[in-house]
Structures are given as C-alpha cells and as structure tokens.
Amino acid sequence: MDRKSVYDFGLVFAANFASLEDMKTNARILSIAGTDPTGGAGVQADLKSIAAAGGFGMSVVTALVAQNTQGVRSIHTPPQNFLREQLASVADDVELDAVKIGMLGDSATVDTVSEWLRGRSNTTVVLDPVMVASSGDRLLQSEAEAKVRELCKHVDVITPNLKELAVLVEDDEATDFDAAVEQAQRFAKTHDVNVIVKGGHLDGSIADNAAVSADGSVHRVPAVRVDTKNTHGTGCSLSSALATRLGGGETLHSALEWSTHWLHEAIATADALGVGKGNGPVDHFHQLRRFAAYADTTPWTFPVNDDAPAPAIAAQGPHTSQLWEQTGTLWRQIMELPFISALTSGELSEDDFLFYLAQDALYLELYSRALARLSTIAPTADEQVWWAKAAQECLTVEAELHRSFDVPKVDPSPITAAYTDFLVARTFTDDYAVGVAAVLPCFWLYAEIGEAIAQHNHAQHPYHSWLETYSDPDFAEDARTAIRVVEQAFANASESTRKRATRAYLMASAHEREFFDQAARRQR
C-alpha cells in the first residue's frame, strides 16, 4: 500500500469514527437537585446517570438531605442567594444542552429556579417533580405544590412517579397503567408538556414507561419488572438519562427507549452492589462495564479441563468427551447470558427476538455453505450424503423463519460476519477434521440449550413454537450424528490436526456465545 493509499484509508477510518461520535453527542447537562450521601439518588445519581448516558454532568445543589437507603432523616436548605450564585456560576461560563431539575423542596427554591429558567428558553428542560419519595417520605412542602404545577408549563418533559402524578392532577393515585396514562393526558393537555408515565410502582410483571404528549398521543416502551428491593433513586436516574439523550439530539421517543433499556439493566444488576441495608441503589455503570468488556481484543483462551456439566446428548467417544469437558466455562457463560435467561422466562422483548432471528437467518445461509463444503470432502459416501442433507435442511429452516416470523431482511452484524467467516475459512481451507469440529457447536450446543430451555416451555410461552423446533427429537438426533462423525474424524486425524480441530471447536463455541449475546450489545 503506497503512502497516498494509507492516507486515504486513514481519512475513511477517521470519518467512520467521527460519524459514530456524532451520533452520541457529549451533551452538557446540568442537574439541579438535592443530595444523597449514600450516592443512590439526588445529584449523586444524576451525575452517574448523565455519565452513563454519554453526557458531561454538572450540578447545582438545592438542598442538603441527610438520607440513606432506609429513608430521609432531615433536610437543610441553603440560602436562596447561594442557590442563585451556583446557577449563575454555571450559566455564565458553560453552554448547556439540557437541564434536569429534581428536588426543589420549598416555595422559595421553586421561585428561584423558575426565575433562572426564564432566560433559558432554548435549553431542553426535564423536570422530575420530586414531591414524594418511593419510601413515602415527603420531599416538597405542600404550599409549593401549586408553584411546581405552574413550573411544569415552562419545561419540556416531566417525569413524576405515580404518587406525584396524582398530586399534580389532584386525583387519587392510579392503580393501573391505563389510568396513569389518562391522568398524564389530562395534565399534558392543560400544561402543554410531555409527561413520562412510569409503571415501575404498579403491581404485576410489567414495568413499562410511556411518553404522553400534549396532543394526547402515547408512545409506550415495554419493560419487564425486576424482582428486587434495590430501586433507590430510579426516578432521579431515569430523568437524568432522559435529559442527557435529549440534550444529545435524540427525539423524546428514542431517548425514552434508550433510558428505559439502560435503567432496566441497572436495576437488574443492582443486588450485586451491596450498598446499604434498605432499598439500595441501582448499578448505573453496569452497561458501560459490559460494553468495555466487549471491546477487549485479548485473544480467547480456553482451559484444558473445565468441569463441564454432563451433556443431555452424550459424547460418542474419548475425543468428543474431551471436547465437551473443555466447554464448561463457555457453557455456563452462554446459559447466564441475559438473552438466554429472558428467552427461557419468556421475558425477552420482541425486538431482541426478531433481531436474533434476522441474524440467525443470515447465519444459516452461510452455515449451509460450510456444511455443503464438508459434503464434498467427507471420506465416506454416508457422510457425504449426511452433510449434504444437513446443508439443505439449513436452507429450509431459513425459509421457514422468514415465513413464520416475518423476519426482516438485514445486513449481517459484525458478530454474525465474524462467525460465518470463521466457519467458511475452516471448512474451505483446512482438513476435514478441523471443518467438522468447527461446525459441531451449532449442532451440539444448540441442542443442549434447546433441551435446557424446553423444560420451561409451555403453550403460553411467547416463543413456544420456535422453542419447540430446537427441542425436537430430530434436532437432537442430528446433533448425535454430528458428534459421532466428529469422533471418527478425530480418530482418523494426526495429533497436529486434532490440536487444530480442538481449537476450531472451542473458537466456534465462543462464537456461539457472542452470537447469542449480540442482541444485548446493541447501542439503543
């Protein structure tokens, strides 16, 4: 490659990364709120959430709150002149993309913040009308409620919990999602503001959020309830993340979708934090740590003996027994994936499921080519016929996916492309034993996963028909045949070929893990 080519490549490379950066602007977000010494709510939660959502956070303190995960002990409100000085110090120096307002506490503070906002008509403002904590503690003096209602007319979005929404509309607290949406529609219309309805405090398995516009339209974002007591500061966190995504240029609907998915993960992983004796905080940075791990380019390594559980479909000899034994960690990692857990329970979102099916259809097309290649180099007529039949069945399954589930035509993801490229390379450029070892995980691991999930399948499962396919006895029998073929191929191969084949099997198993996990890795 000459110098000009290198330069041109660099420009394209830089342009691609610049476009990625442009998609997620490093928005400058100001949080105006009270404090939480234990870090789960207030400005402490706001700053964590802003950072997690891709923004640069700043804070102005309205109240010093002595609270922890068990409740509020006391509240100290600094002088209003000091609050004005804080607001001015930020506004005089920094151009803000969005403002999140949380706890205001009393009438004087509402007046001060309202006055400051009058000069900021071009800045997106999200108001979390903090009146009642989820613990039941009152966080706003009753005489200030009317002023907060008035303030709602001068912001873009409000994010009340159900108790606060009831206070705003001066009605009883909603006991179901539709009733909450109806209250939000009333308030949105009379105050010309977007209202976020949060279903997390309702009973049942659903914890959806919805954006209700002043014209009455509703955009509902599905979410599954997480069984945990550790939800301290979720209201602060959602509103701050929402403000950050709005400040970065996203629409309200897109911003709410991203914030809902992010917060769901933060709640789902909250228990592991171990912060406090009461209702603990959520794990604001779990998603960031997860994405950072995905970016690790360290070559995959695999233990020699890995304490694998006994497979439902038995190995067919010493060689395949050794292969399975080395799959222990990979097997556990796959079964612990959020995608597999949600698929098993039936809580997997339709969007994630369809994304997976679309990539699976692309995978099967190229997997079929790899199997067809094996049919041309197999050492016996029986194996040639079997591989050809397996290749044809892949194309049949792909067509059935499109017909039964209306799977959209999409481009392959980087993970799908990496896996299929690996399979094609191993089957077209290496020995037969290496090729059959590379394609084995899709038979064996898939059948094992299908068998494990089948124990939780039932007629009302949202993905019942699809799960039945992979727990079908014919699928298990195909896996058994593939294992037997691999066992024989290893027996006929040299020691050096067996080493390459073992590596190919383990690499393909790792690709299976990545493939199952990719729906959870999307930047949404």
Distance CA 194, CA 174 (A): 18
234 is catalytic: yes
**Which residues, 6+ apart, have CB-to-CB distance to 406 below 8 Å?**
none
Distance CA 63, CA 32 (A): 10
Encode 377-397: b = buried (16+ Cβ within 10 Å), e = exposed: ebeeeebeebbbebbebbbeb
Distance CA 257, CA 524 (A): 7
Phi, psi of 20 (to 5 degrees): -65, -40
| Of 499, 438, 432, 474, the residue nearest 313 (C-alpha) | 474
Tokens read off for 442: 């899709």
Distance CA 456, CA 341 (A): 11
Map residue 327 onto helix, strand or coil: coil
Catalytic-labelled residue, pool 54, 233, 248, 450: 233
236 is catalytic: yes
Catalytic-labelled residue, pool 234, 260, 269, 416: 234
Tokens read off for 37: 């010494």
Give me the sheet containing 28-34, strands edge to edge: 71-76, 56-68, 28-34, 98-101, 124-127, 157-158, 194-198, 209-212, 218-221
Distance CA 377, CA 384 (A): 7
Tokens read off for 416: 């799908």
Tokens read off for 335: 């079964």
Strand partners, 219: 211
152 is catalytic: no
**Which residues, 6+ apart, have CB-to-CB distance to 116 below 8 Å?**
84, 87, 91
**Which residues, 6+ apart, have CB-to-CB distance to 23 below 8 Å?**
none
The DSSP secondary-structure symbol of 280 reads: P
Catalytic-labelled residue, pool 57, 235, 247, 248: 235
Catalytic-labelled residue, pool 102, 198, 200, 497: 198
| Bridge pairing between strands 209-212 and 194-198 | antiparallel
Place of tokens 């940075």: 285
> Are 306 and 325 contacting, i.e. CB atoms less than 8 angstroms apart?
yes
190 is catalytic: no
Catalytic-labelled residue, pool 236, 244, 327, 394: 236
> Are 86 and 30 contacting, i.e. CB atoms less than 8 angstroms apart?
no
Map residue 130 onto helix, strand or coil: coil
Strand partners, 125: 99
CA quadruple 101, 107, 112, 116: dihedral sign:
positive
Catalytic-labelled residue, pool 38, 62, 231, 320: 231
Q: Could you write out the three-class secondary structure of 225-279?
A: CCCCCCCECHHHHHHHHHHHHHHCCCCHHHHHHHHHHHHHHHHHCHHHHCCCCCC
Map residue 212 onto helix, strand or coil: strand
429 is catalytic: no
Host H or E run for residue 67:
strand 56-68
112 is catalytic: no
What are the catalytic residues?
Answer: 198, 231, 233-236
